[in-house]
A and B are shown apart, each in its own frame.
Chain A
């Protein structure tokens, strides 16, 4: 009897011993497919673009994905912001491997990296979830202070459409509620043991997750060699709640649809659509008066959220109502680029293009330049340009040129302290890029037997007259005084170097 009881005990203990690895193994495999990323960033100072701020380290998580015949690290594009060096370590080892950017799509906020030395060869790739939908239970993994992976569970409570700090592309995001407070950008979200998304933002209540559908789109797009990206329609719309306005637009019998407020220059529908058309449908999605569609998996979301299911180059059919008549148009849509505007949205690499001529620092007006002042603190003239005069451009070469500051020099005494000047003309020629600036600087104006450079700014800011023949000496002095490399100074060939 005693022997039989002992056999039973040992049997159960043995079973327990065998079963533990059966429970732990998938978790360990999953851990191995999550890596720690260390991004060493160094921001460029927007207003003194020859200088950089101190280097800081930002930490993220990434997952291993199978991409054709190799393994790559997938993570959020924020990893690449101002990054000077990126490395990864697995969750269980402190051996570092350099990461090299393979592909970054700032609009959707995702990035792929290669690791050196075949570091990923032996790491398992994640399995991708089928989808992320409302009320789905999810798990989120983050690294704690001891660099260990911790898990917290939650649920998808809503779907929304929002843009981010990197792009004003309207992404479809899942909103999930978790109990944990310490959740970071780039933390992976899982459904069961399958990877389902990345955290891209959080407010006090909810975490925003870029869903697996967008991630699949991004990964699938990589495989055929040419990236088609995420498209946009190139229009702006307003809600159409007012019955009077519908009557005015001869749409009394139609309760659906939003008003087209603007068709941008870059829209493929530029010749088809007009302001005041009522947008009723995109492919099979009927749009309500507030701009929402009923998605079978995501519920009610803004119509822009369905565009994430298309690729650049895909044809999209739209149905609009124009003065009572329904019109259908179908066009291939283009990949969205939020930098294809007069004032670009975001420069991932952090580089600031600038030229110094005679102490005047010329650079393109960018959103980051405006943000460097603090919220709504940048000079009003420049803010107003960004908010109200910032069109999408057919070609991205045009920009808004400013003189951000004038570096003091005895030859420029009347202009010391000037800055934030909107450049309109140089030597009588309109300039809308640093390239055009260089060209114009090379053709000075001659007066009284001497060459001058005449800069014309916004009418409220006047103009400036600069010497031409002495510019090399001015550059040398300023370069020495401010410790700025001479390579940043533009010296036209015909100035006659000293």
Chain B
């Protein structure tokens, strides 16, 4: 009798487990969406146009309040977004509510709020531990249905998020398959989201990356006030392990137990102005910094800059530094200045441009350089990477480049000037795009001399002839507007009306 009771208890437990698994699958089917995006990116060489319409798919999942979390790169430049659940035959249009390109995250929601009536959001969990098992859920290419793959956590680090190029944040590496279409999908452990699948290492197998919950939570907190501020600049650049060099330790009079990093150079944001080159940074908030620049963060050693990276605007950081043989604490208040176009890719914005004498001038940006593929001229890449160190370029607010030459008799000899950097107009040094346009427009008569670097000699135009020629060029080439000097954020149709 006892044995029979034990047997029934055993069966009960088994069926309960089966029911729990089925519940999880149902929940995933309700909460995880296939996202289809029709998008159109900017043609950087002809910025009044867009590239041909393209199509991509990704994944998103419900996090509550009718919101779906996905990657920014899944919905960037969207013209139409639709979402669909596994097992349903209905697609619902959705719109972007908030987008964070630097963190590669976006919140979208269906146009019809009733669509999320039976919502079963998946709660967020913590940072997973190494070797723990995770499940990647999504809609990768190779099929239409929901796909679940399993893997383990391989590494926790601080690495580049390639969508915006310049940003580094906390990152978790897993060995489960993350394929095209998986982007934006939840990675789950014990029924909770521990990350968003978003990028993979194409040259290596079993290497997928997920955005962990601290970065997600930072994003969700940032947008609570209705607008997204973004992550602060990295700020401090150092040489890893430098303070492990015995001579360096003696030079800086570091005690035996002192570890940290030495400031090599600083980013330009004023929030970093409290530091000097050569300062030794020993601690950030309560975290002691190791000789390789890492701190113990969620059980793993990660670059210390992860602490400042996860702060919100207005929050404070406290650093313990060693300067001139003395330790002191410095406080830094987090500010986020507008990300410059030469530091990261830009999205949802048509670039500024102006056409004069058929020469298409644009503002130099990382997105423009990316559009050139392998053909990036050294000069332009040098300006993008080293301008703040070069006295010739340090004072520039932005840089003006010839993106194309629309052939016309007025510019017969200018074909070789594509990708030349504009230095001066009538001898006056060009330090910003807006000032360049304003200067040229103000010249209604006389000669306009443009001096370049990276092209041939100067180009000279008669101002009056140029105006006439530009009218002709606009007609010949069907250009809607000959300039766009203000940056507009209104180009993404999928943005929700606020």
Check: A129 CB closer than 8 A to any chain B CB: no
Interface contact A414-B385, CB-CB below 8 Å = no
Task: Give the chain A neighbours of B132 by CB distance below 8 A.
Answer: none
B211-259 contacts to A (CB < 8 Å): 238-248, 250-251, 253
Task: Give the chain A neighbours of B246 by CB distance below 8 A.
Answer: 411, 467
Distance A466 CA – B248 CA, assembled complex (angstroms):
7
Check: A447 CB closer than 8 A to any chain B CB: yes
Distance A247 CA – B247 CA, assembled complex (angstroms):
64
Check: B458 CB closer than 8 A to any chain A CB: yes
Task: Give the chain A neighbours of B250 by CB distance below 8 A.
Answer: 448, 450, 452, 467
A383-423 contacts to B (CB < 8 Å): 383-384, 387-388, 411-416, 418
Chain B residue with minimal CB distance to A384?
B382
Interface contact B378-A380, CB-CB below 8 Å = yes
Check: A481 CB closer than 8 A to any chain B CB: no
Check: A204 CB closer than 8 A to any chain B CB: no
Given A244-B460, A465-B245: A376 in contact with B251 (beta carbons within 8 A): no
Interface contact B253-A448, CB-CB below 8 Å = yes
Distance A346 CA – B458 CA, assembled complex (angstroms):
31
Interface contact B379-A238, CB-CB below 8 Å = no
Interface contact B247-A411, CB-CB below 8 Å = yes
Distance A450 CA – B246 CA, assembled complex (angstroms):
13
Task: Give the chain B neighbours of A458 by CB distance below 8 A.
Answer: 389
Interface contact A380-B382, CB-CB below 8 Å = yes
Distance A460 CA – B394 CA, assembled complex (angstroms):
13
Task: Give the chain B neighbours of A466 by CB distance below 8 A.
Answer: 247
Task: Give the chain A neighbours of B461 by CB distance below 8 A.
Answer: 244
- Cβ of A22 to closest chain B Cβ, rounded Å: 59
Task: Give the chain A neighbours of B413 by CB distance below 8 A.
Answer: 239, 241-242
Chain B residue with minimal CB distance to A456?
B277
Check: B386 CB closer than 8 A to any chain A CB: yes
Given A411-B246, A462-B239: A248 in contact with B378 (beta carbons within 8 A): no
How many B residues are at the interface, by size bracket?
Answer: 35 or more
Interface contact B460-A414, CB-CB below 8 Å = no
Interface contact A239-B241, CB-CB below 8 Å = no
Distance A120 CA – B238 CA, assembled complex (angstroms):
65
Our pick among A248, A384, A447, A463 for the contact of B460 (Cβ within 8 Å) is A248
Interface contact A414-B386, CB-CB below 8 Å = no
Beta-carbon contacts of B319-332 to A below 8 Å, as 1s and 0s? Answer: 00000000000000
Interface contact A261-B379, CB-CB below 8 Å = no
Check: B457 CB closer than 8 A to any chain A CB: yes
Distance A460 CA – B278 CA, assembled complex (angstroms):
13
Distance A248 CA – B463 CA, assembled complex (angstroms):
12
Task: Give the chain B neighbours of A376 by CB distance below 8 A.
Answer: 378
Check: A259 CB closer than 8 A to any chain B CB: yes
B248-296 contacts to A (CB < 8 Å): 248, 250-251, 253, 262, 264-265, 278, 291
Given A465-B245, A465-B247: A244 in contact with B462 (beta carbons within 8 A): yes
Check: A381 CB closer than 8 A to any chain B CB: yes
Distance A376 CA – B377 CA, assembled complex (angstroms):
10
- Cβ of B374 to closest chain A Cβ, rounded Å: 10
Task: Give the chain A neighbours of B242 by CB distance below 8 A.
Answer: 414-415
Check: B338 CB closer than 8 A to any chain A CB: no
Check: B412 CB closer than 8 A to any chain A CB: yes
Beta-carbon contacts of A406-445 to B below 8 Å, as 1s and 0s? Answer: 0000011111101000000000000000000000000000
Check: A459 CB closer than 8 A to any chain B CB: yes
Task: Give the chain B neighbours of A460 by CB distance below 8 A.
Answer: 265, 386, 389
Distance A261 CA – B242 CA, assembled complex (angstroms):
46
Chain B residue with minimal CB distance to A454?
B251
Task: Give the chain B neighbours of A380 by CB distance below 8 A.
Answer: 378, 381-382, 385-386
Interface contact A414-B239, CB-CB below 8 Å = yes
Distance A398 CA – B458 CA, assembled complex (angstroms):
31
Check: A12 CB closer than 8 A to any chain B CB: no
Check: A245 CB closer than 8 A to any chain B CB: yes
Interface contact A413-B244, CB-CB below 8 Å = yes
25 contacts between A and B (CB under 8 A): A239-B457, A240-B457, A245-B458, A247-B462, A248-B447, A387-B378, A387-B379, A411-B247, A412-B245, A413-B241, A414-B239, A414-B241, A414-B291, A416-B241, A418-B239, A448-B250, A459-B389, A461-B264, A462-B238, A462-B239, A462-B265, A463-B278, A465-B248, A466-B247, A467-B250
A-B CB proximity, top 7 nearest: A238-B457, A462-B264, A414-B245, A414-B242, A467-B247, A245-B460, A384-B382
Given contacts A238-B456, A239-B456, A463-B278, 15 further A-B contacts (CB under 8 A): A242-B413, A244-B462, A245-B460, A248-B447, A383-B378, A384-B382, A387-B378, A412-B245, A414-B248, A448-B250, A459-B389, A460-B386, A462-B238, A462-B239, A462-B264
